Every structure is written in C-alpha cells, then in structure tokens.
C-alpha cells in the first residue's frame, strides 16, 4: 500500500508518530553572560595580600581565608569593598591564630 501523505495522521486515523510536531520543542537561552573571577591586578593583589582565595559563588564572588571563613562580594563591587572584606577576613584569621 502506498501512502503519499508522509508521516502523521492518515485519513483512516492511524497515527504514525504520535502526532508530535517536528522540530525543537524546547529552546533554552542563556540568562546571563559567562562570569569569571576578576583578573584585574589590583583586585588580585588585594586578595593575595590578605592571604585569601577567591571563587565564584551564587550571584556573587566568594573570598575565603585560611581558616575557611567566607565573605560574599557582589558583582561590580568597588575596590574599597574588596579591601574591607579581605581585611575583615585577615583580622579573623589573625585572631584565630593568636587565640589558644
């Protein structure tokens, strides 16, 4: 038997492909641009001087001292914010080092 109508429903009601539409059914678009930790030498110097490490967090950067204390730095933060938060982490680490 020859069918000229191709895939899909035929006249007699027989469904060859479940009536599914062709082509992509879901389109995923990126919500944000790709983000990486800042590579500005000033910010890197501030973080290194305080003996901290940095990583990406959820909608922020996260800096952590040697004892595991963390602070969130929002995207687009000023240099003063970076200095204050890293200094705070350095002070916490110094206090923990000197406290028996």
Q: In the 8-state DSSP scheme, what is residue 21?
A: P
Could you give all domains of the chain from N- to C-terminal order, each with its CATH number? 41-98 (3.30.920)
Average pLDDT, the chain: 80
- Which pTM value belongs to this model? 0.64
- Tens digits of residue pLDDT in 47-86: 999 999 999 988 899 999 999 999 999 998 999 999 999 9
> What is the pLDDT, as a whole number, of residue 65?
93
Closest CA to 91 of 83, 37, 75, 60: 83
Q: Nearest 5°: phi and psi at 49?
A: -60, -35
pLDDT band at 35 (very low <50, low <70, confident <90, very high): confident
Q: Nearest 5°: phi and psi at 44?
A: -60, -40
**Under 8 Å between Cβ of 47 and 82:** yes
């Amino acid at each position: 038997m020859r069918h000229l109508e191709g895939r899909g429903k035929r006249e007699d009601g027989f469904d060859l492909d479940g009536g599914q539409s062709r082509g992509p059914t879901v389109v995923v678009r990126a919500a944000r641009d790709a983000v990486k930790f800042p590579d500005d030498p000033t910010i890197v110097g501030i973080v290194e001087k305080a003996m901290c490490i940095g990583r990406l967090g959820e909608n922020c950067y996260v800096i952590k001292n040697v004892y595991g204390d963390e602070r969130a730095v929002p995207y687009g933060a000023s240099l003063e914010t970076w200095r204050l938060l890293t200094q705070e982490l350095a002070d916490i680490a110094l206090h923990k080092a000197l406290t028996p």
